[in-house]
A and B are shown apart, each in its own frame.
Chain A
Amino acid sequence: MKRILPIVIILVVLGSALGAAWYMKRTVTDKPGATGTTGAPAGPSPVVNAAPGAQPVHFRGGESAAVVIEEFGDFQCPPCHDLYPILKGLESEYGSKLKVIFREFPLYPNHAHALHAARAAEAAGLQGKFFEMHDLLYENQTQWKDMFDVRPTYEDYAKRIPGLDIEKWKKDQNSDAVEQRIFLDGNRAHSMDVKGTPTVFLNGTEIPFEQLNPEGLKNALKQAFAKAGQ
């Protein structure tokens, strides 16, 4: 009995640990209409019946490209900051063959300035300068994310954008139009079962978080282009 007891204890703990892991994973990922497990290496299915989100969309690349990347991002999230140069590299590599959409998914209050940053970018977007502000926010994220008051810093960024009407930009940050765009993108995120940032969809299918690196994204894009016959 003394020989078997430790083995029994070990097996019970192993079983409990695996059961707890399965339960945690299930509570995180299993919701009605889920797009599949976020981190699963294979098998996610395309999202159907997703809410349209804010229109017109913010995108770079070819408007009618066959391959579309859609990112749900938060300007204060560190992994989004890390993803930014990767996506920008892919944008210049593939040009008009690829369409890269950005959607707002500010994780407030987890990130204290996320909503403010989303408003700053969307207000610039109302003047057709969304990606100029988007780039400045990500490129300088480490400088502003721990600040107490980000407004003067964002205003400095706004002043760096050629042709941006600063007074209008300041006013627009609290406008209904900006509020609605963020709300509608959030609506789309929830309909697509987005739970964190960055969440990236490739032609409507979620790319597992583990693959959001240069190699993983390139492989996913290669497959998508092959599928599209390009």
Chain B
Amino acid sequence: MSTTSQGQTDPSKRNVILYSIAALVSLIGIADALYLTIQHVTGQSVRCTITSGCEEVLSSQYAAIRGYPLALVGAIAYFTVFTLSTLAAFGYKLVGKLMTVLVLLMFLTTLWLIYLQAFVIRHFCQFCLLSALVTTVLTVLALLASRKQA
């Protein structure tokens, strides 16, 4: 990598592609989390079409933290990932590593949420599963990109 200007380097072509895909994938996460946030805030019941437990999951005590919908936290996290991966794709220093740390934290949270759905609430919500899939894809992309950086 060669330094082009202050704070920026030329990332490898592979990393540009990986971070660009990550940015696009995080857009799906933003849309999914925003939809759930709006439904939560307006008190709408979310109807599942593939799984059957949307209401059970989204009305459970785990769907909100101190009155704030968990989906809002997700939307902010996905937007942060989008921001970091976009900056990383353009060669901004350190943001790639920061993104990897954030995505790993999100992945751990996802594992916990999947555990809650499977063993505590005993219902699955398709929108939460989509979010889990997005986070998993982001984790793979972030790890691939960071391996290349090392």
Q: Could you list which residues of chain A lie within 8 angstroms of chain B, going by C-beta atoms?
A: 2-3, 5-6, 9-10, 13-14, 17, 20-21, 24-25, 28-29, 37-39, 77-79, 82, 107, 110, 195-197, 199, 208-210
Interface size on B, residues (CB 8 A): 33
A6 touches B44 (CB 8 A): no
Residue of B nearest to A197 (CB): B45
Contact for A21 among B5, B34, B43, B87, CB less than 8 A: B34
A208 touches B55 (CB 8 A): no
A6 touches B90 (CB 8 A): yes
A21 touches B8 (CB 8 A): no
Q: List 24 A-B contacts (CB under 8 A).
A: A2-B5, A2-B90, A3-B5, A3-B90, A6-B87, A9-B86, A10-B82, A13-B82, A17-B75, A21-B34, A24-B38, A25-B42, A28-B42, A38-B42, A38-B43, A38-B44, A39-B40, A78-B59, A195-B43, A195-B44, A199-B43, A209-B41, A209-B43, A210-B64
The smallest C-beta distance from A20 to any residue of chain B, in angstroms, reads 6
Please measure, in the bound complex, the distance between the C-alpha atom of A209 and the C-alpha atom of B83, giving whole angstroms: 32
Q: Could you list which residues of chain B lie within 8 angstroms of chain A, going by C-beta atoms?
A: 4-5, 8, 27, 30-31, 34-35, 37-45, 47, 55-56, 59, 64, 67, 75, 79, 82-83, 86-87, 89-92
Secondary structure of the B contact surface, majority rule = helix
Residue of B nearest to A76 (CB): B55
The smallest C-beta distance from A81 to any residue of chain B, in angstroms, reads 9
Report A-chain residues with C-beta under 8 Å of the C-beta of B4: 2
**Max count, chain A CB within 10 A of own CB: residue among B5, B40, B45, B91:** B45
